[in-house]
Amino acid sequence: MSFGVRARRATDKGAGLAESLMVDICRVVRVERVQQPDYTTQVREVLVWSGPCKVQTYEPDSIERQSGGRYVVTQEDRLHVPNSAGPFEIGDVAYVEGYARPYRIDGLIRKTFQTAQRLKVTMISNREEVPGVPSAP
């Protein structure tokens, strides 16, 4: 049996184990802007995916930025979802049950032997002020 076949089998087994650790539930939405006949723009959320996930912080450093004259503190985390989830795009918004604020997907991390999709996410700390993102549902 070749190394590639053995590695693929190990990855498949690892994917099952990784999924067993995904005890949170999340839903990921995509914000779409729809131009109305009266030239106004309607913003709506379209469901991309819903299911099990796991939130993990790798480096608990926060970043302080100024946005619209206010300071905003963000922290980068990882959102782990099954390999079969998605497809996701940068800018999608993830709501994780039990978390007070949603996450914005900032990066799609890809690997050859991937046991789960690990998405780089940032908690949206001032959601009501993020242009184009509707208020929490």
| CATH number of the domain within which 35 lies | 2.40.10.270
- Between 36 and 30, name the one with better pLDDT: 30
Tally of domains within the chain: 1
Q: Specify if 134 maps to a domain.
A: no
Helices (H), ranges, the chain? 3-20
Q: Specify if 45 maps to a domain.
A: yes
Over the stretch 77-92, which tens digit does the pLDDT of each residue have? Answer: 999 999 999 999 999 9
Q: Specify if 137 maps to a domain.
A: no
pTM: 0.76
Over the stretch 78-133, which tens digit does the pLDDT of each residue have? Answer: 999 999 999 999 999 999 999 988 999 999 988 889 999 999 998 876 544 444 45
Q: Specify if 135 maps to a domain.
A: no
Question: pLDDT band for position 67 (50/70/90)?
Answer: low
CA distance 5 to 8: 5
On whether the CB atoms of residues 89 and 21 are closer than 8 A, the answer is no
Owning domain of residue 54: 3-129
Radius of gyration of the chain (CA): 17
